Structure 1
Amino acid sequence: MLIPNSARSLRGRLALAVVALAVTVPLTACGSDSGSSSVGAGKDGLVPVTVLRSNGAIFESLFIAEDQGYFKEAGLKVTIKAGAQDTSQNAPSIINGEAQFAMTDSSGFLKGAAAGLPVRIVTGLQSAQSGGNPTDGLLVKKSSPITSFADLEGKTVGLAALGGTIQFITEYLVQKDGGDPSKVKFVALPTTSLNDAVTSGKTDAVFSFGAFYAAGKAAGLRSVGNGMNELPGIPQGLLFASQKYLSSNADTAKKFIDAVAKALTYANAHPDAVRAIDKKYTQLPADFIESSTPATLDKTINTTVMRTVITKMNEFKLLDAAPEDSALYWDQAPVTTGS
């Protein structure tokens, strides 16, 4: 079903999320609420932590931290689980204490923050870079008349999830090219089905990312523009936690993000380790992964770029409110205000 970009549908989803939290949070408070109380070490001497990863990409550093023993060295026993397809929907699990950390992207997090959910960014994982080779972007068939984002007016674009960073950057680039983003139609599809959708003509274009984007180009699809690199510094992957968990478990949280930071550094220096994880956890052909160049990972969150994202998402009616920085970042998160 084709879904137009509408504020009404977004408000409905956020309202449902808030209602769900209002029901579930009191229930967990009657039992052991690991989202708000201090969590001690188990019999093995390690503090248990559960993190929800994305289903598509940028989760490699979590497995590297596990494989290289960084979590164990920090005194943590980390369980890595696949989260929701739309990572913005991981917030209820974080607030209820079902998991302590979760992955999402910039817009996915902002949807929860704009709804007043008590969550905070703890670290970045990857951000767009100027001058580098795009790791995401718009893909069309070679014969497509679409040559710019402005050409998407009246067209259908496939996305892995609606209302998130990918929809935002698509609308941002349509406007930047002089088009009207409200005239673009979006449809949500499984990440693994995006390239097939545009190849078969189910959609006019798709916005793909990571290894799936590279696979689409290798299969003969044509890229338009430079994807998120058109807005350098926009977070493509980040980790967040509940405010209550952070206030009661700051030491554990700091150990966790420091271990992830070590893994990011290791991943950048050892691309074969990243490829090995992609072979295990994605559905892409091993020979393709072997020939690909992994993206550069970075823990830093650029608050100036995030403010641009907030302002524009609010303008595009993807956010009903523009949350202040004090409602976004943990006080120990690696942030920068650089342009």
Structure 2
Amino acid sequence: MPKRTRTPLGRFSVALVTLAVAAPVAACGSGASSTAVAGDGTGKITVLRSNSALFEPLYIAQQQGYFKDAGLDVTIKTGAQDTSQNAPSVLNGEAQFAMTDSSGFLKGAAKNMPIRIATGLESATTKTDPTDGLMVKKDSPIKSFKDLEGTTVGLPALGGTIQFIVEYMVEKEGGDPSKVKFVALPTSSLGDAAKSGKTDAVYSFGAFYAAAKADGLKVIGNGMNDLPGITQGVLFSTQKYLSENAATAKKFINAVAKANTYANAHPEAVKAIQTKYTQLSADYIKNEQVPYYDKNIDKTVMRTVITKMHQYELLSSTPKDDAIYWDQAPTITGG
């Protein structure tokens, strides 16, 4: 595959977080080593959530008393819009856990950051209909991912999970992903870019995907569901914190797992949290399909992501499993 010049990473976009590795991270410590204890003897944890999605189980765990029952005092804070600022917060002990997606985490792991995935929140699954995907004009000559060779594709951010899935599908269908040009555009303007011809195709998601689809754009493929098991949301911590506070960390991820189960059985609870903590429209929340939450991380699929992201020059190295997962993280081998 010919070499190509990569555009620097874009900023965080809804649900699919990109943990860019900034220079200041190298100067950070390896994380607070002990759990703070509240006056009533409960373990204190601060967790940084994403700005807009997949954080619902955290609030459910709080509302349903799962954290309290586990003896935990959990504070949920909104993480930085640019999630490259979340890793230093965890490494410095300002927070014990933070959210990201698979490619976001892997960019940190590839730089040998001492962080580990503690649990999953959501992975792509055929149990739900796509809520993201590649989109073109109805009369576009692009009928498949292979047809993207020689075209320009608009993305909400460069270098992350979305760019990976497009390149992966181009290659899977027999095309050459190095022949696709990617440009970063504001998420709200992706649909217009495809309709106006500014780009040949775009990849959109969530409310923007639904709006563009309603506006007449044609969808190609099944979005992230074309690679079932690709991790879309995880909680990570530092290796040091997880090692020295394993019992507390285990209680935390078990409480989140209970909340995942509750969220899957009570979509109305998910929608209530979205109404309170997001800027999504009431109409979209009412009619949207809620995510399927899953604690498990498929190591086989993750290894595919690692290998291919490195091949596509989206990762600087291929971190081994012991540099990715906490040894008590809920992992499976599937794919």
TM score, norm. by length of structure 2: 0.87
**Long gaps (5+) in structure 2:** 10-17
Aligned residue in 2 for 1:51 = 47
Identity of aligned residues (%): 67
Partner Cα separation in structure 2 for residue 323 and residue 267 of structure 1:
32
Aligned residue in 2 for 1:112 = 108
Deviations 1:103-146 (A, max 9, x none): 11111111111111111011111111236421321123334333
Cα pair distance change 1:88/1:121, threshold 3 Å: farther
Shift of 1:264: 0.5
2:293 to 272, 294, 297: 297
Shift of 1:330: 0.4
Cα pair distance change 1:63/1:141, threshold 3 Å: farther
Shift of 1:216: 3.1
Partner Cα separation in structure 2 for residue 289 and residue 312 of structure 1:
34
Say how many residue pairs are matched. 324
Shift of 1:168: 0.6
2:245 is the alignment partner of 1:249: yes
1:66 to 56, 62, 67: 62
Shift of 1:240: 0.8
Aligned residue in 1 for 2:32 = 36
> How does 1:18-33 map onto structure 2 within 5 Å?
19-25=23-29
Deviations 1:205-245 (A, max 9, x none): 33223444334323433211011111111111111111111
DSSP 3-state at the match of 2:73? strand
Aligned residue in 1 for 2:123 = 127
Aligned residue in 1 for 2:76 = 80
Shift of 1:281: 2.9
Counterpart amino acid of residue 223 in structure 1: V
**Do the aligned partners of 2:170 and 2:176 also contact (CA within 8 Å) in 1?**
yes
Aligned residue in 1 for 2:320 = 324
Partner Cα separation in structure 1 for residue 200 and residue 85 of structure 2:
27
Cα pair distance change 1:251/1:197, threshold 3 Å: farther
Counterpart amino acid of residue 205 in structure 2: F
Partner Cα separation in structure 2 for residue 5 and residue 236 of structure 1:
27
TM score, norm. by length of structure 1: 0.86
**Long gaps (5+) in structure 1:** 26-32
**Do the aligned partners of 1:88 and 1:104 also contact (CA within 8 Å) in 2?**
no
Shift of 1:311: 0.8
RMSD: 2.6
Aligned residue in 1 for 2:264 = 268
Aligned residue in 1 for 2:86 = 90
**Do the aligned partners of 2:119 and 2:330 also contact (CA within 8 Å) in 1?**
yes
Deviations 1:234-281 (A, max 9, x none): 111111111111112112211111111011001100011111222233
Partner Cα separation in structure 2 for residue 83 and residue 247 of structure 1:
24
